Amino acid sequence: MGICYDNAGSICIADWGNARIRKVNLTSNIITTVAGNGSGTYNGEGLPASSAQIGPLDLKCDHFGNLIFSDKNNHRIRELTTSGIVNTVGGNGTSGYSGDGSSATSANISNPYGLAIDICNSIYFADGSNYRIRKITSSMPVNPSITISAHSGNVLCYGMPVTFSSNTTYAGISPAYQWKVNGANVGVSAPTYTYAPVNGDSVQCQLTSSIACLTTSPVVISNTIHMRVDTFIVPVVALTGDSIAGAGATVHLTASIMGTAGLYTIHWKNHGIEFTTTTVPSVTYTKAAGNDTVTATLVSMGRGCYDSVASSARLVYDHNVSVGSLHLAFMSPRVYPNPVDNVLHVEAVSEIHELIITNVLGQTVVNSGQQNGAVSMALDVSGLSSGVYFVKVNGVCTNRFVKR
């Protein structure tokens, strides 16, 4: 009694003693009869599975979902199609040996039992009483194919990597893959490819099948994916409001915001210590003694290609403290151009002693080393890969920028 899995994952059983083919659905754990009426004698071709008389000993599922079985009782190799019809694919019902090199259905075979199906859908079976392994060559076309798909998100922004994957048929054991962007060869021979596309890129993959029995060329090209990539919109924050207040007074500040898609949170800090968060562009707080450096750090929550963080600072003077004692180190420097291709400029309002650039994983990719206290720097970032990076001035993360 042979068993196999079909293409849906159910177990198929050659129930030879009951002259039936049966199936076990592993999800419902229900067994059903899919072919045979309980009589093992031959009663014709092209019959519905439920009325066909068969003597199945072994069976296998081919690449098209048909069940191929050795009908030992009737000296035939037969097929239960996906449409529920039983046909003979080898043997004429007469026990004997003949027919090599001719039509499979005109050959004499005797008591066939074990069988197998190769990648080209040809059938190998044990011709029991003839002590031979025989082959029925498939007449079905064996054509390789490949389709590709992109896995990104709902929004694809500049600098974001995308993984492209392939789905193939008849690729063989050792196929070759050649990914192409705008017609140029890229990547390595692999079923997936990852890179950060730019707007307008066209991506394809060429498959070279390793199967020897193909009916067409082994080289096929996939569908084309045309990429739409949006550029980052960098939000801008500017603070206005009270600039002088005495201890105990209520200070009112307002943030003018652009480039957020309407949804955001503002983290308000004084001297680097957060004192509240808001989802509206204003805040009030009670002034303490001394000069304040209030920073509004905006985190964009909107869908789309919005750079998520932008900061601005405002000085609130105490009537009794001189301007010279202001803590300018908390003010956010200017970073431009953004996005940048080659040279990034950083302009601070106080001395720069150290400047570091990190990637989105927090890894340092540029370290300026100890500086002599200049308030502006020009950094060569041409060697950085496309993506989003962060600028740290004197150990504080102040800005982010996009490298094209």
Over residues 192-242, the pLDDT tens digits come to 999 999 999 999 999 999 988 888 899 999 999 999 888 777 777 888 888
pLDDT value at 328 more than 80:
no
pLDDT at position 308 is: 57
pLDDT > 70 fraction of the chain, expressed in percent and rounded: 91
Res 6: pLDDT: 93
Question: What region does 36 belong to: left with phi over 0, alpha with psi -120 to 50, or beta?
Answer: left
Mean pLDDT of 159-178: 93
Alpha helices (runs of H) in 160-304, residue ranges in sequence order: none
> 0.85 cut: is pTM over it?
no
- Is the backbone peptide bond immediately before 337 cis, with ω within 30 degrees of 0? yes
Q: Which residues contact 257 (CB under 8 A, 6 or more apart)?
A: 235, 236, 237, 264, 281, 298
Q: Specify the residue for token string 């789905």.
A: 167
Strand extents, DSSP E, 317-386: 334-336, 343-347, 354-359, 364-370, 376-380
How is residue 112 written in tokens?
Answer: 């066939």
Joined together, the tokens standing for residue 177 give 């893959």
Q: Are 316 and 277 in contact (CB under 8 A)?
A: no
The pLDDT tens digits for 94-127 are: 999 999 999 999 999 999 999 999 988 899 999 9
Report which of 180, 181, 165, 163 is spatially closest to residue 219, judged by C-alpha positions: 180
- Determine the pLDDT at residue 359: 85
CA 366 to chain centre: 30
Mean pLDDT, rounded, for 136-148: 90
